[in-house]
Amino acid sequence: MPDPKPITWQNIPGLTDRERELGEMLFFGADLRTLTLIGATVGDEHVPDIRGGQVHREAGSRAQRRAE
pLDDT, the chain, mean: 86
Q: Tell me: the pLDDT tens digits for 36-66?
A: 999 999 999 999 999 999 999 976 555 544 5
The answer to whether position 6 is within a domain reads no
Q: 47 φ, ψ to 5°? A: -105, 130
pLDDT score, position 59 = 67
Q: State the total domains in the chain.
A: 1
d(CA 68, CA 65): 5
The answer to whether position 43 is within a domain reads yes
Range of the domain at 52: 17-67
The answer to whether position 47 is within a domain reads yes
pLDDT score, position 2 = 64
**Predicted structure pTM score:** 0.75
* Nearest one of 45, 4, 56 to 23, comparing CA atoms: 45
pLDDT score, position 4 = 80
